[in-house]
A = this chain, B = another copy of it.
Amino acid sequence: MTSFKQKLSAAQRIEVKRQMDIYRQGVQDIIPPEDLEEKIAKSLIEERPLKIKLGLDPSAPDVHLGHTVVLNKMRQFQDNGHVIQLLIGDFTGKIGDPTGKSVARKQLTDEEVKTNAQTYFEQFGKVLDMEKVELHYNSKWLSKLNFEEVIHLAGQITVARLLERDDFDERIAMSKPISLHEFFYPLMQGYDSVVLESDIELGGTDQHFNILMGRHFQERFEKEKQVAILMPLIEGLDGVEKMSKSKNNYIGIDESPNEMFGKAMSIPDELMIKYFELVTDLSPEAVEKVKTELESGKMHPRDAKMLLGKTIVRMYHSEEAGEKAEQHFVTVFREGAAPEEIPEQQWEGEQQTGILDLLTALDLLPSKSEARKMIQNNGVKMDGKRVTDPQLTVEIKDGMVVQVGKRKFVRVALKH
């Protein structure tokens, strides 16, 4: 095999190194790095961009900072002229759960898939240049495979190899059933890369196995093998679990400036630098400076966290919004007062209302049981006074302020 690296001019060699340095920032793993170098070299010599694939689950389109770890990396490729392939895994979404056991894995309609893809598209626009993004739906090719082709695909992989995947391995060890169709999800992901002829696939470290399937199947189908770039998973606000919607420990990129800022302030101190590195656009040098000043005590952790919050708000809203969110936070939480701008809600219900009904009607809590729990945890205040009795009947007054947790306020307005 001739190596493209050997054909590079001196200037091109510098360019390859420049790109490699950028792509290496913050990654957990590049498998294998020498293939990535070779692909960059090839793209320079052949003057064609690389194809960078990202697979997306069409059923959960709420984008949070956890996703942006990967999106920021994709943006770097895009800035260097490479092409992003967003792959909506709609074929899987349309199947639902064939065992009929999981209610969660319900079948999506074509309409839902399109709507969810649109949601992704709008949110990703905050990080990527969406005009230069290719959008693909894998149902386009997967739904056309017949049984013979599926068997041919299945013939390219061994059962032992599939059982190496951590979660399968664990379930076998614990005698938890694995339905045979589950073996097909990594196969599909791998076959998508064959069809898309992807050069690189990006994902979190939890996608290690599935992304390597792409390399495997491309090789079996005599295509050039993609490089796996695995990004670290970022812990959520709890500092323990991976950030995810289901754990409710996330900062959504569509959230309001005050919500974002407040959530950023609740991150455990020890995660701050990781957040700076993975979810902000600060340069490695700027992050290094924060790190040094924190260690030397020159910077107070609270101030570092305020910088983090302001930066995140700036990225997804504006410079000004960042300043305002900081000001809001200082007013409410540092000075213990109610914020200047409390959203107002018109009250059209009964004058006498149970506290649980009130909290849910004002959308401050999603259910009565959640509202009861919040009261029991001392998290509900009315006009600054703590509510302790979940059975309380409230006499609604105009201008009354209801507060849930540290950051949610509503001013009740009565019809006149």
Contact = CB atoms under 8 A, between A and B. Distances in A.
B148 A146 contact: no
Nearest to A162: B180
Contacts of A271: none
Interface stretch (A36-44, A151-159, A291-299, A404-412): A151-159
- How many copies of the chain does the oligomer comprise? 2
Interface stretch (A79-87, A92-100, A257-265): A92-100
Interface stretch (A170-178, A356-364, A369-377, A384-392): A170-178
A184 interface: yes
A57 B32 CA distance: 45
B151 A95 contact: yes
| Interface bracket on A | 35 or more
Most-contacted residue by chain B among A143, A151, A175, A178 (CB, 10 A)? A151
A142 interface: yes
A144 B145 CA distance: 10
Contacts of A91: 147-148
Chain A residues touching B, majority SS: helix
Given A147-B142, A147-B145, A181 B158 contact: no
Contacts of A168: 159
Contacts of A149: 147
Most-contacted residue by chain B among A98, A142, A155, A163 (CB, 10 A)? A155
Interface string A174-208: 01011111111001000000000000000000000
A130 interface: no
Contacts of A95: 148, 151-152
A103 interface: no
Nearest to A168: B159
Contacts of A183: 154, 159, 180
A91 B152 CA distance: 13
A155 B143 contact: no
Interface in A99-148: 99-100, 142-148
A178 B158 contact: yes
A158 B159 CA distance: 13
Contacts of A160: 172, 175, 177-178
Contact of A155 (B99, B153, B154, B172): B99
Most-contacted residue by chain B among A94, A143, A159 (CB, 10 A)? A159
A181 B157 CA distance: 8
A60 interface: no
A175 to B, nearest CB: 7
Contacts of A45: none
Interface of A: 91, 94-95, 97-100, 142-160, 162-163, 168, 172, 175, 177-184, 187
Given A159-B159, A162-B180, 17 more contacts: A95-B151, A98-B153, A98-B155, A98-B156, A99-B156, A143-B146, A143-B147, A143-B148, A145-B146, A147-B149, A154-B183, A155-B181, A157-B180, A159-B163, A160-B178, A180-B183, A180-B187
Listed from nearest, the 9 A-B pairs whose CB atoms lie closest are A98-B155, A154-B181, A154-B180, A155-B181, A145-B147, A98-B152, A159-B178, A158-B177, A151-B181
25 contacts: A95-B151, A98-B155, A99-B155, A144-B146, A144-B147, A145-B146, A146-B146, A147-B149, A147-B150, A150-B150, A154-B179, A154-B180, A154-B183, A155-B180, A155-B181, A156-B179, A159-B168, A159-B178, A159-B179, A159-B180, A159-B183, A160-B172, A160-B177, A160-B178, A162-B180
